[in-house]
Chain A
Amino acid sequence: MKKLKILVVDDHPIYRNGLRDVLIGEKMVRLVEVASDGNEALEQLGLQEFDLLLLDLQMPDLDGVETAKLVVKKFPRVAIIILTSFSIRKQINELLEIGIDGYLLKGADRGEIVEAITSVLKGDRYLTPEVNKIYNDYLNEQSEQALVVMVSNILTKREVEVIKQICIQPNTKAIAQKLFVSQATINNHRYNIFKKLGVKSSIGLVSWAVQKGYYNPNKDNL
């Protein structure tokens, strides 16, 4: 197996030197160099070839996000693992979109760092469990929001009102009286809503409305 050349980029000397000393003792590692910020890292990457970058985010001058962008663009063969104290959901997503390969939190021990390096070099992505959970929850929230936007784009305001009324009481006559329209209009809305949402009955519609937060049986009532 080819031995690795690693560049540790962190503005904190105790951390970067401590990490260097730990990594240099690993069998799979050939060389570990250190840099104190993004600019210094780019300079070193221009001077010699590295396999992996262990990159901090909060640094003076050129921060980790900007450095990652430049490294992905200029040195696409270098793998990047973020090593930071931050776990901001949107930033994790931003970095993964840039193309980083791993994300660890400061506090990760030798064992986890070696595990992350091994995974990344095999071509897998490694996210520490805490970050993995934050990222997955963020993705779920984004897709739920996208669904709400999509649904609110296809339903008219009047149709949303009718959905709520159907959930409260399915009687067409009562809904028509409440919304000051004819029963035929309500039936027409009901037909359009069923068609747009792909539901087949009022029960299906109520279950959809509860699931998507359009109706809360404990709060919305007559």
Chain B
Amino acid sequence: MKKDKLLQGHKQIGKRFVTPMNQLPNFRSARYVDDMLPELIWVALMIDRIDYVPAARQFESFCKIAIDALDEQRSGFAFASTYGAASDDEKSELVRKLDAAGLLEDVRESIGPLNRLYPTSPLAFIGMAEAESDDCLFTMEDCVGRFINKHETPGIVLNGMILTSELITETISFSAEMDLPDFNSVLTDPDSDSAKHAGGFLRAHALSSFGFCELDSKWARDFWNRNLELYKCDFETSSHD
């Protein structure tokens, strides 16, 4: 019987075996939890508050207004740092247009905990609704816990919001002949093969889009380190201390 070759697809360079992905020229890996989740957490908060479909509509409306308000920006509308990098005028314009469209209070309600608890939130300029700090702590913890696994439905949907933003802002389009997965199955039949196919597609697309944006990691670092201040560790084992 022929033996399976170990580390198939890897390329030996000196004493290292390089993965197929790392052999790709200019490939830059992106980390979902470390870097992408802090950028997407504001969208996750929308979903957490009003559920998937209404949140998707709210997010679509937000993106349509944003592409109009942010003159220079043409991509990355799902990522918080995109808005943080906008000029003061663009930020004011975005707030004004959200208000005019009747969206501002709703968005503030959703992302309020983020702006209240994280002083360096890139979306701080949007402001916040009134809420108790304890509620905000609970809301954030619940939200992160729900969306932290990119293989479960909330995480897949969150990854999918990147594609949604690109379709709305017309920074991506698919040929009519292209055989796209059934994205609805992620919600309607999450355990199906179809949902797994769609989930894989959305995660892979999110990773490449995120890498393409080359966002500064400052906000991601701020977000996680702020959590160390806000929340206590939860250890399973006891130490000698």
A and B: bona fide binding partners: no
A-side residues, CB < 8 A to B, are none
State the B residues within 8 Å of A (CB): none
